[in-house]
Amino acid sequence: MGDKSLEETASAPGRGSSKRTAIIAVLLVAALVAVGIGTWFALSRPAGTDRADVLRLDKHRVIVDNSMNLYDPLVQQFSGRYSNAISEKAGQPEEEKVLSLDRERIVRESAANRDRLEQMSESPALKDQKVAESFNRFKDQYTAVIAYNDQLLINTANIYRSVGGPCAALHSSLNVASESYSEDYVKSADECLAALGTAKDGADAETTTLLTEVESVIRGQRDKQQEVLNSKDPLERLAKSTVAAVALLDINEAFGKAQATYETASKDKYTKIIENANSSNTEFEGVLKKSLEQFDAASGEGK
């Protein structure tokens, strides 16, 4: 028994070693294949996505461009609701509600747009110099559109809060023929002027000009009514109040002029921003299209 087992075991190494070599070889090959497949699997994706990166970047370009169309209806809704809340004196909680709902929706919109641009700037497709340059212009122009709309939100709120608020009452709810008109006017005008003063906080150049013009018109009227109040002599009082009343006739013209200037200036500004954005978009689209064509041509040669 012991002999046999010894013989068997003794002979085992010889046959075993060749078997073992074969197994090791098979295992090695298998391991190599596994490593190879793994490496291919790991590397093939990033390597093969160059074209997909360009495609993706192009889709993101379309998304950003399309999202700009949302500002118009969203800002309109906000200004409509805010102006109603102000002019109907809905009260602080209601104003806050409009601000937190409708204004915040636009704030979120802008944040999402900025995120999209940021994400685009991390695209691997930007390794291509031309694509990167074109993207940077696109990003700058669209950032300007977003910034314009953010500013518009501030301007709209500020204008409604002042011109649409305490100032609106000045020329609609006071009785010109009333005895206390001058007194009422000066009181309301002071509230209006205070509101106009704070409304300039954070306003852009065009809006500040508008508010300043409205301010100077109201201040002029206010001072004339104050003169009426200051005059002791009844005859002088009558004369002053006639001058003040006649001056009121010009007020609509002055407001109309200020408003027209404002509308023209902000429209021009926006038109220019939109034009720039559109041209940068067209250019970027062209560059990406060319890049895609190059990929297609390269893969065509490969086949």
Partner 1 sequence: MTIEPVRKKRRPVMIALTLAVVLALIASAVVISVSTMTAQQRRESLVLLKDERLTTLDEARGKIQPAVNTYLAAYKKARNAPASREEAEKGSAKERDEFQQAIISARTALNEVQTSDTAGAEDKTVSGAVAMLGDSYQAYLDSMEGLVESYPLFEGLFRQDAGCSGLFVGSKAANLRERQTLLAQAAVQCREAVNQLKQSKNVSYVEFARTLDNQIAQLETHAETTAKSEENYNEFVRLKDEYVKKIDDATARNAPDAEYRTIADELKALNTRIKNNRSEFDFAAKRYVNGVRDMPTLVEDVFTKDVADQIKHHDAVIPIRVQVLKDALDAELAE
Give the Cα-Cα-Cα angle 77, 79, 83 (nearest 5 degrees): 120
Residue of 1, 10, 47, 235 that binds partner 1 (CB under 8 A): 10
- Report in angstroms how near the CB of residue 140 gets to partner 1 at its nearest: 21
Pick out residues in 88-127 that bind partner 1 (CB under 8 A).
88-90, 105, 108-109, 112, 115-116, 119
Q: Rounded to whole angstroms, how far apart are CA atoms 294 and 288? A: 10
Contact 143, 117 (CB under 8 A): yes
Q: Based on the shown chain and the rule CB under 8 A, indicate whether residue 27 belongs to the binding site for partner 1.
A: yes
Pick out residues in 126-185 that bind partner 1 (CB under 8 A).
175, 177-179
Where helices occur in the chain by DSSP H, the ranges are 2-48, 50-67, 71-87, 92-98, 104-120, 129-162, 166-170, 181-199, 205-230, 234-249, 251-302
Contact 174, 181 (CB under 8 A): yes
Going by C-alpha positions, the residue among 153, 229, 242, 154 that lies closest to residue 190 is 229
Give 33 or 205: the residue with its C-beta nearer to partner 1. Answer: 33
Residue of 1, 3, 15, 66 that binds partner 1 (CB under 8 A): 66
Q: In which element (H, E) is residue 46 found?
A: helix 2-48
Q: Rounded to whole angstroms, how far apart are CA atoms 289 and 92? A: 52
- Report in angstroms how near the CB of residue 63 gets to partner 1 at its nearest: 5
Residue of 25, 37, 43, 297 that binds partner 1 (CB under 8 A): 37
Q: Based on the shown chain and the rule CB under 8 A, indicate whether residue 76 belongs to the binding site for partner 1.
A: yes
Of 9-17, 140-148, 182-190, 213-221, which segment contacts partner 1 by CB under 8 A?
Answer: 9-17
Q: Based on the shown chain and the rule CB under 8 A, indicate whether residue 9 belongs to the binding site for partner 1.
A: yes
Q: Based on the shown chain and the rule CB under 8 A, indicate whether residue 261 belongs to the binding site for partner 1.
A: no
Whole-angstrom distance between the N-terminal and C-terminal Cα of the chain? 69
Q: Rounded to whole angstroms, how far apart are CA atoms 57 and 126? A: 9
- Report in angstroms how near the CB of residue 158 gets to partner 1 at its nearest: 21
- Residue 143 has phi, psi (to 5 degrees) of -65, -35
User: Under DSSP, is residue 165 helix (H, G, I), strand (E, B) or coil?
Assistant: coil
Which residues of the shown chain bind partner 1 in the complex (CB under 8 A)? 9-10, 12-13, 16, 20, 23, 27, 30-31, 34, 37-38, 41, 48-49, 52, 55-56, 59-60, 62-63, 66-67, 69-70, 72-74, 76-77, 80-81, 84, 88-90, 105, 108-109, 112, 115-116, 119, 175, 177-179
